[in-house]
């Protein structure tokens, strides 16, 4: 059970955590490789594990909250005009899952009238379960998270995602200026670099070619840990967001000055 310093825990959070744990049992079962893989219209893979995880998450959430909307990677969007909308990627990192990389995750977020108010990020094979609710802080395996206070770009560790799409953009040279300044550049990828960021172990994440289902839960986890999470032009998240700049507020402002006008 997830509890905060005052001993409270919302029903929304408890249901999301239970759904994430149920999905983790399913994905672990299939992780050894005994599953079928098909290709979606966008040429990305989908497995039995993706479908079954989403079915389990959807069933649990809508059983508890039948009036809520649901937007899933595999089943699409229903009740899109509902006050509450759940955003779910049952296996974020399917390509890695297929090749038995441990960096896949289950992402579950709740949006209320356009604002993300809850997020659960389950790094199944790495035993990392992170969550956050608006105003309640961010947590990883029961420990409160806090972002790094390093504000000098020369001392910062920066993780970059989806380099292929970043390179094929008008902002490649802008990113180069950030890379030149940084103390360390890595590409931890998928959910993992956001967990590291929220825990204060790296200072920034820069990423393109994402969708809202990949990052909704992670955005509130980083935000509740003290970070700032926008797209590469400094805009807040919407259902159409395609890129990320996440860091502590000081570094975010410095990096945004380099990336202003970025076109991905």
Instruction: Scan for tokens 């919302």, then name that residue.
Output: 10
Write out pLDDT tens, residues 178-219: 888 999 999 887 899 999 999 999 999 999 889 999 999 999
Instruction: Enter the pTM of the model.
Output: 0.92
Q: Where in the chain is the domain with CATH 3.30.540.10?
A: 11-144
Averaged over 34-53, what is the pLDDT? 77
Write out pLDDT tens, residues 145-176: 999 999 999 999 999 987 777 777 666 777 88
| CATH number listed for the domain at residues 11-144 | 3.30.540.10
Angle among Cα 243, 217, 25 to the nearest 5 degrees reads 120
Beta-bridge mates of residue 71: 77, 87
Q: Where in the chain is the domain with CATH 3.40.190.80?
A: 153-259
**Cα 241 to Cα 231: distance, rounded to the nearest angstrom:** 7
Write out pLDDT tens, residues 215-242: 999 999 999 999 999 999 999 999 999 9
| CATH number listed for the domain at residues 153-259 | 3.40.190.80
- For the cut 70, the answer to whether the pLDDT of residue 107 exceeds it is yes
């Amino acid at each position: 059970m997830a509890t905060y310093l005052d001993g409270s825990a919302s029903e929304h959070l408890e249901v999301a955590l239970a759904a994430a744990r149920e999905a983790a049992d399913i994905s672990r079962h299939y992780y050894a490789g005994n599953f079928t893989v098909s290709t979606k219209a966008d040429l990305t893979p989908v497995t039995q594990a993706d479908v079954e995880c989403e079915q389990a998450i959807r069933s649990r959430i809508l059983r508890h909250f039948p009036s809520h909307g649901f937007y899933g990677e595999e089943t699409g969007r229903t009740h899109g005009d509902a006050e509450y909308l759940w955003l779910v990627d049952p296996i974020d990192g399917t390509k890695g899952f297929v090749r038995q990389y441990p960096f896949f995750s289950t992402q579950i977020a709740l949006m209320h009238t356009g604002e993300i108010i809850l997020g659960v990020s389950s790094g199944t094979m790495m035993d990392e379960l992170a969550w956050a609710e608006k105003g309640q802080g961010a947590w990883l395996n029961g420990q409160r998270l806090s972002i790094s206070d390093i504000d000098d770009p020369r001392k910062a560790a920066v993780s970059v995602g989806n380099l292929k799409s970043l390179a094929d953009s008008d902002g490649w040279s802008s990113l180069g200026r950030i890379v030149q300044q940084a103390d360390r550049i890595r590409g931890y990828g998928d959910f993992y670099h956001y967990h590291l960021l929220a825990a204060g172990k790296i200072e920034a994440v820069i990423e393109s070619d994402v969708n809202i289902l990949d990052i909704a839960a992670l955005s509130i986890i980083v935000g509740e840990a003290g970070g700032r999470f926008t797209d590469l032009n400094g805009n807040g998240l919407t259902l159409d967001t395609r890129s990320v700049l996440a860091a502590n507020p000081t570094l975010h402002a410095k990096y945004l000055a380099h990336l202003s006008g970025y076109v991905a």
